[in-house]
Structure 1
C-alpha cells in the first residue's frame, strides 16, 4: 500500500526498500530530516532495534547533527529525538483563517501548481490533507480570497469554472429525454429503409404565386410546405399502406390521413397534427399549421394536438439542406423528409439557348419495412410526385 507523509523535509535514509514483505508494525522504514545539510549524517545509519511490542525505548543515532523528524510508519516508532516514552500527538484541529494547514508536501506542491488554497482537515494522518483530497487537474480553478469555513473533510476552496472552460453541461429537459428515448427506440428496433426522388416544382411555384396574389386581401399566404402536406395526404389515399401503424399482431390501416408536421422549438422537436388533411383545402391547412406552430413554440400545445398522427413530414429545405433521411415516429410507418429547392439547367430543344432553368426539390421517404415494402414505398412517391408536379389536381 502507499503512504503519503504529512511531514515536510528531506528523505535522508531508506531502511526498507520498496516491495518489502512481512514488515512488522512499528518498524522504522525511513528517516526524514528537516534540513538538507543533515542528510549526509544518516548515510551509514542502521536501525538494529527490533519492532516494538508496545512502547519500545527508541534508539538514538550517534551523530550530533539535528535529529530527524518522525518516521513515515504509523506511531509509535523509534526516532532519533523521540522522548523515552513517545505518545501519539493529538490530531490538529481545523485551522482558523490564516492559521497553519496540515498537508503533505505533495498536496502542497499540487495545490500551488493548480492555484488551490487549502484549509481544514483531510483524509491523511491526523487529519492532514493529502494529494488524493485535491480535485482533478481539470476541475481545479483559482481560489477566492476568502474561503468557506472548514468542513469534516478537507475544505478546498474551488469556485465555479471560469468562462474559459472548454465545455458547458446543459441539463436534459423531460421533453428532450422523451425525444431521445423514442428516437433511439425507433432507430434501433424499426427496419428503416429510404427512397429518394426529385420533384419538378416549376408549376407548384407558379400556382402558389397566383394563389397568394388572390388571397392577399384575406391575409393568407400559402407556403410550399402547405402544398406538400396536402400532397402527402392525397398520396396516402392512393397508397393507404403508408398510412398505417405496426401493432405487432396486426397492421392498422387508417381511413383518414392525420399528418404530423415537425416543428422545431427551443425545448426540442414536436409534431403537431393536421387532422383529416385529406379532407381540408390548402388554405385551411395553411392556417392550421401556422396556428399549431405558434402554439408549439409558446409551449401551449395540448397533448391531443401532438399525440397520434398517421404519417409525418419534416422539412429542412428552408435551411438549405439538399437531402436528408428522417427517423420514423412509431407506431407510424413512414416519414417524408423535404430538402431544399434548387435550380438546374435542363436541355430544351424549343429554347433559343437550347436549355431552360427548372426548379427541383429532393424528397426522401423513410419506411418501416415491416409495413411498407420497397415497391409500395416507390408507388407512394410516384403518387406524391404526380400531385406536386400538377398542383391543380389537389384543388379540383
Structure 2
C-alpha cells in the first residue's frame, strides 16, 4: 500500500487533469492558476467570454502550461494591461524557477506563443501566452529561483504604443520579490575555517605502512580506482586512514611506474556545493516523507525465468516478422510490468491508497516505471497496464523513457501512478520493486 502523493488529491483525477477535467485543490493552487489582467473602464461584456456574467472566486485550475483565465484591471495612470502571474503547473507545485524567456520586452505575442519556460518540482514546462498583445514588461528575470505561485511574471498590453509607459513598472502588489538565481551560492560559506584542520595531509608521522604482513595493500575502493587510472604504486604510499588504510588524499606525490609523479597542486577548495534543482529538492522531500510515514519492509526472491526467456524470444521473433510491430522488442521489464499489474488485480490491497480516514482500493492499475534522467529520478506512468498487451507496454515505456530524458513529459504522464516498478537488473541478477518516491 502506498501513501497517496500530491497531498491527498485523488490520484485518478490527476491523471485526467490534462484532458480538461481539472482538479479542485487548495485555494492557493486554484487562485494562482488564473492569469490576472488589467483593464480600466471596459464594459463587463469584455469579460463574458472568460468568466460569464461575473468572475468566479475559485476557478478550478487545469493541468496545463497554458494560462486558463484572464482578469482585467486598472493600475493608476498606466494604460490597460494584463498581469501574467505564475500559475501552479502541477498539484504539488509551491514555487517555480523561470528558466528562460522566449520573448523579450516589446515583442508582439500571438495566442499560444511560447512565453517562457518554468521549472516546476517535477519538470521544465513551456508557458504559453493566453492571447494576443505586446510584452511590455518582464518582472521576473530568467534564472530567478523559488518564485511563489501567484507572483507577477510580466505585463502584456494590447497596443504597441502603450509599451513605453511600463518601462519603469514594478509589482507594487508584492514587495517581497523572490530571490533571484544570482543569490550568493553556498560555496562562499565562511563557516568552515575549522574544517581545514582534518583534511591536510601533514600526518605522516602517525601514518603506518599500508601493506599488511600478508603483502596485501589496504586502501579504499576510491583510492584503488584512482591508482589504477593514474598508474600509481600503492605499495609506496603510507595511508593516513584507520589502521594505515590508504585514502584518496594520500595519493598525492605517489610513485608512478617507478618514478615520482608530479605533486598535485591544491586549489584550496575542499568541497563543491552543487545547487539544488526543484526536482532534486522534491525528490529529497518525498523520499523523507516516504521513509518516515510509510512502514517499509523488504523481500528479495530469486526466480527461475527460463520459461519466460523462451517465450520472450519467440514473441520477439514473431514481432520482427510483422509490419506494424517490427520495431518492438520486448524486454524482461515489460513482463514484470504486466505481471505486477495482474498481481495488483488479484491483491487489491497492494494497489490501494491510505486516505487517513479510509482506504481507497483502485480498480485500475497505473504502473509507474522509474526512469533515471540527468535531472533526477522520474516515474512516467503506463496507464491501465493490466488491460494492455506486452507490445503496447513495451512501446509506451520506450516512448515515455525517451521523453523523460528529454524533459518533455507532461505532469499527468508522471503523477498519479498506483504501483511502481524500478528495474535494478543492470546492477545484478535480482530485480526488485521499490516504493514510489515521486
Normalising by the smaller structure, the TM-score range is 0.3 to 0.5
The higher radius of gyration belongs to: 1
Q: TM-score, normalised by structure 2?
A: 0.38
Length-normalised TM-score, structure 1? 0.42
